[in-house]
Amino acid sequence: MDNKLPGAIIAETGANGGHAHIWSLTVDPVLDLFPKSSNDIYVTGGGGFYRKVTSFTDPEESEYCDFYYGCGYYTSNQVVGHFSSNQGGFNIGGGYQHRLGGLYGDSKTKLYAEVRYVEVLSPAVVGQSPNGLGTITSIPADTKLLPITLGIRF
């Protein structure tokens, strides 16, 4: 998961931008309520390991050169400070899925839409300075998210 940081947190550090990336390895069993139907509702939930990396960025100018056009300059966001944490967490949610045809209505390909409540049991950040940037007053404990996912399963 990738998310932009709130402006108040970015402003405290003196950076111009920031984002958080959350990586996870979880076990999430799925319970189909209508497994033989072409339209199915399911519930899911579980827990596991989460790694949260919070990065702060500033625009910086860089030079590039190529064989055809020569050299030029461009501006891109570069990470100027970050911190990370590893912890446990859990999620619970549900969704709807529609089976796509098949010769006898037995296709394994499904369109789905799902929503989950995700809670990463991350520690509070109080008075830390990410790699020399300004000190952050407080980022509350526990990261709580409500991601909505649309996709295809096969």
Question: What's the chain's Rg over C-alpha atoms?
Answer: 21
pLDDT of the residue at 6: 81
Distance CA 51, CA 84 (A): 7
Distance CA 42, CA 33 (A): 6
**Enclosing domain of residue 101:** 2-153
As for how many domains the chain has, the answer is 1
The pLDDT tens digits of the residues spanning 28-62 come to 999 999 988 889 999 999 999 999 888 889 999 98
Its pTM stands at 0.73
Block residue for tokens 């990410």: 130
Could you tell me the two tokens for 142?
A: 């526990």
